[in-house]
Structure 1
Amino acid sequence: MYTLCSVHPRLARLVGDLSLWRHVDFGRSPLNLQFLHKFIRFLGPHTVTISVTGFVRGSGRHHPKGSHCISEAFLTSLKRRCPHLHELHLHRCYINAATTKLSALPASLKKLSLSGSALFNLSQNRVVVVSSPFFHLEKHLPALEEVELEGCSSWLTRQDLNILMGHCPTLKIVSVGPARFTRTGYCSWDKREEAKCTSHIITSRKWLQLL
């Protein structure tokens, strides 16, 4: 689509149609940061959802540099240009936690998916609350209702889940692998994945929590 813009002015106007950039899905092929930045100018207050696929394959323990990572500058651009963004799906993306903070996300987000994504350069002492990538997330994403964290077991901790569930008042659903936790105390399981799940659950007053 970006190539069409340089072919003919009429095609450029067509590609610039705001209705085409309301629900933006970049597909399942991994895209580097430079390529994503080319599309920033098409995004705006009209953009409601964005889906991006990154370069994580397998366990995600290999940590790339540069253009294969989602940068804070990219997230800040979304925050500045998309004040009405409701959903952001970062599938299988590398995120350097030392330089890219989730606080840079648009405050309007209601759903955040990090399914299969790999956060690296996290603090070595993950027991400390302030070391969680979700620390004070409620201040930056006050409308957040749903978080998807499937395939994030390489970096996700119980502390992270406790922070999400305990400090985000608008949060209703947290999906972790086959488990789907809700504020009403209901948990739905994908029976096909149940045998693979090593965690067990207990009910609390407001949430079902991982142990």
Structure 2
Amino acid sequence: MKIKRSKSLSPEPSSSRETKRVKLEESADSNGVTSSINILSFSDDVLLNIVKYLHPQDLMAISLCCQRFAQLTQDRTLWRRVDFRVKPILLDDLIKYMKFLQPLTLSLAIRGNLSSGTSALTQNFFDHVRTQCNQLKELIIEEYYIHGDKIQITDFPCTIEKLSLKGCKMDYLQSNKSYFFKMDLHMPNLTCLILTKCNWFTPHSLLVISKIPKLKELRLNSCHRLGECVAYASLATRFGFKTLEILDLRDTSLGDSEVGCFSSTKTLTHLYLECPTLGHEDRESEIVQQRQQRQRQPLPIPIPIPIYEDHNLAQFYIEDLVSFEDFGFQRCLISDRAICALGSDTGDRKVINSSPQGMVILQEDRRICNNPNLKTLVVRNYPRVTNSSLVHLALNASKLEYLDVTGTSVTREGVESFKSQKTNVKVVSSFDTRHS
């Protein structure tokens, strides 16, 4: 029975040839010496099952061996999910692999090397990806330079559902417009955005990102410019983030006020918080050095405050000269206040009638600010988080499944009391003997 392999770009399979390859058997010559089997003696189906375990760089290498391997390595089944991150790949080398990308390529992951100074992506690269991979769902770009003035967010493929710019460096950004402006319109199907270690990310971009209609996962860990953004966080959580489930804010300078804003995000299931690793003494020393350096510099010429192009939400302006370290180490210490905002109720009251006899009638306008679906909470290395947070979570976090309070000021007795009340919750703390 013949099997048609119409979806393959490899040479005509053995099953469809007039003369099938004979079953491989060891044969002996006239002198009784057993001959070895050549890899090219295998059928295309067998070879495909072997080479599918190779990295793209290895596929490129064996494609240069012979014509048969050159055709075999172009099979579309080998290029549906492409991951070049096994080692850094420069742009010149990356161009050589573009010919292997297929219309059915669903995932593309690349990693550069910022220290080399030549890992800069070009407009031609993005044009080629959009043309060759018109069904691309996942684009992962790590440790590359991106020229913010030449490459806009609209140059990225509009079909992607997951975008990662982890560790990328962005230069030549406009001061009056977020780099992600109109991202919600250009990528309507985006569900995951990873901006880990993107120190160029500024707080006002939260407003644009919050409007992405299907966004479920947002990772901003180690975005060190993400500080003092109460206004942005308040507006973003009030008008946006309607589908957000996973939020990673580890190693950022956010405090109680910003984290408290996300308590109104009812779809949130996973929240990750961890104090920046830089110690108090080192941070204060760095602040002093920055202030002294700015005092020696001439005062900048005042410029008019720019008007942002996004008119749907009010936006605020933060001078680029002010870094988050200026707010002090105490600024980024999350306390029980932020944790107790998760699952709490707040209510506003207003007087609707007041009689001369002293009777006052009040009307309550209760706003429930909670995370009813919160399953995972990580809050590490914050000394201001105490047993009060555990007591609150035991009473209000009904769906909690995982809690990490390592490095906080909770006590062993507080942890044991929490475990006794929430037996279905896995608790990780500094008191665990097997904690790693």
The verdict on a shared fold, with TM-score over 0.5 as the criterion, is yes
Q: Secondary structure at the match of 1:12?
A: helix
Q: Which amino acid aligns with 1:36?
A: L
Corresponding residue of 1:82: 133
Corresponding residue of 2:182: 136
Matched, 1:163 2:200: no
Corresponding residue of 1:26: 84
CA distance in 2, matches of 1:29, 1:111: 21
CA distance in 1, matches of 2:245, 2:91: 38
Identify if the C-alpha distance between structure 1 residues 24 and 187 changes in structure 2 by more than 3 Å, giving closer, same or farther.
closer
CA distance in 1, matches of 2:188, 2:247: 25
Q: Which amino acid aligns with 1:139?
A: L
* TM-superposed deviation, 1:205: 4.6
Runs (4+) off by over 3 Å? 181-190, 204-208
Structure with larger RCO (C-alpha < 8 A, sep 6+):
1
TM-score (norm 2): 0.40
CA distance in 2, matches of 1:139, 1:197: 28
Identify if the C-alpha distance between structure 1 residues 189 and 32 changes in structure 2 by more than 3 Å, giving closer, same or farther.
closer
Report if the CA contact (8 A) 2:217-2:247 is conserved: no
Identify if the C-alpha distance between structure 1 residues 47 and 185 changes in structure 2 by more than 3 Å, giving closer, same or farther.
closer
Corresponding residue of 1:46: 104
CA distance in 2, matches of 1:156, 1:86: 23
CA distance in 1, matches of 2:152, 2:244: 30
Unaligned regions of 5+ residues in structure 2, if any?
1-58, 224-236, 269-331, 333-436
Summarize deviations over 1:75-94 as a string: whole Å, max 9, x none: 11111111111000001111
RMSD: 2.7
* TM-superposed deviation, 1:163: 0.8
Identify if the C-alpha distance between structure 1 residues 142 and 173 changes in structure 2 by more than 3 Å, giving closer, same or farther.
same
TM-score (norm 1): 0.79
Summarize deviations over 1:106-155 as a string: whole Å, max 9, x none: 111000000111111112x2xx3xx2111111232221111001111x20
| Between structures 1 and 2, the one with greater strand share | 1
Corresponding residue of 2:147: 96
CA distance in 2, matches of 1:111, 1:185: 14
Q: Which amino acid aligns with 2:148?
A: A
Higher alpha-carbon Rg: 2
How many residue pairs were aligned?
Answer: 190
* TM-superposed deviation, 1:28: 3.6
* TM-superposed deviation, 1:3: 3.0
Matched, 1:172 2:216: yes
Identify if the C-alpha distance between structure 1 residues 184 and 136 changes in structure 2 by more than 3 Å, giving closer, same or farther.
closer
Unaligned regions of 5+ residues in structure 1, if any?
none
Percent identity between the two aligned chains? 26
